[in-house]
Amino acid sequence: MIFEQKTIFITGTDTGVGKSIFTAMLALFYLVGGKKIAISKPVQTGSPKDTDFLTSLTGNKIPVFNTYSFSLGAAPSLSSKIENEIIEKNKIIADIRKLENEFDVVIVEGIGGIAVPITDSVSPCNDTYLVADLIKDLNYPIVIVARPTLGTINHTVLTMEFAKQKNLNVLGFVISGYDEKINDPVIKTAPDIISEITGLKCLMKIPVIKKVNYESILAVANGSFSSNAPNCLANV
């Protein structure tokens, strides 16, 4: 069960698919359940900053930690090079390990998808280190957040295949921005087709949230995660 996890890494099929939204929702669920919870966004690039977004989405009630933050919105390997900072993977891992000792639950939000380079052969440390390698080093189970629209089958299946190749433990996938009432066969059928191809469970279909803020995220978390709700993550 996802709610028995002490550590979870939230990744996605791309940037901008709803990782932060799902991270905040899951974190609030744990908080409401009385857990001492921390969120880590270990490396972030661009603005607005995900750490600020996550702090605001969780109503300032959950600490959000970060190791590296860059202005240029790009893969960390490139942003760090341009901004003359060396990313040390051991520092990222050590910072997250510290949280494991202090908190009941640690949720890490990834950077883009799992093949994003944190460092690469042209970055200062001359080592190719992908988000998937960080997940492996942390030994965290992952949840893949995906968009609901055309293209999502391909992206999600490929992400799953890469996760398998890297020997990652995938708990399942989440579709963010799923309109239950929409009469589009592409959107309606995608979650089941992804499950059929990958053998992965669709853990949750996050509805389209009109105004994304703390109140609406909390409302969806409370509503969706109650044990009698449809698409209930707690039942997975």
Ligand X SMILES: Nc1ncnc2c1ncn2[C@@H]1O[C@H](COP(=O)(O)OP(=O)(O)O)[C@@H](O)[C@H]1O
* Residue number, nearest CB to Mg ion: 20
Rg (CA), the chain: 17
Stretch that binds ligand X, among 73-81, 87-95, 156-164, 204-212 (CB under 6 A): 204-212
Instruction: Indicate the residue among 119 and 176 with the shorter CB distance to ligand X.
Output: 176
β-partners of residue 106 are: 7, 38
Instruction: Indicate the residue among 16 and 151 with the shorter CB distance to ligand X.
Output: 16
| Contact call for residue 21 and ligand X (CB under 6 A) | yes
* Residue 44 · residue 60 · CB < 8 Å: no
Q: Which residues, numbered 173-202, are part of the site for ligand X (CB under 6 A)?
A: 176-177
> Going edge to edge, which strands form the sheet with 202-206?
64-65, 37-40, 105-113, 7-12, 142-146, 170-176, 202-206
Q: Residue 120 binds which one of Mg ion, ligand X, none, with CB within 5 to 8 A depending on kind?
A: none
Count of residues that bind Mg ion according to CB under 5 A: 3
Instruction: Indicate the residue among 99 and 112 with the shorter CB distance to ligand X.
Output: 112
Task: Kindly state the smallest distance separating residue 187's Cβ from ligand X, in Å.
Answer: 13
Token couple for 76 = 């960390």
Catalytic residues: 41
Q: Is 53 helix (H, G, I), strand (E, B) or coil?
A: helix
Q: Which of 19, 89, 147, 155 binds Mg ion (CB under 5 A)?
A: 19
Question: Binding pattern to Mg ion, positions 42-61, x when CB under 5 A?
Answer: --------x-----------
State how far the Cα of 117 lies from the Cα of 19, in Å rounded to an integer: 18
| Contact call for residue 205 and Mg ion (CB under 5 A) | no
* Residue 172 · residue 203 · CB < 8 Å: yes
Instruction: Indicate the residue among 63 and 177 with the shorter CB distance to ligand X.
Output: 177
State how far the Cα of 29 lies from the Cα of 138, in Å rounded to an integer: 23
| Contact call for residue 56 and ligand X (CB under 6 A) | no
Count of residues that bind ligand X according to CB under 6 A: 14
| Contact call for residue 206 and ligand X (CB under 6 A) | yes
State how far the Cα of 107 lies from the Cα of 37, in Å rounded to an integer: 8
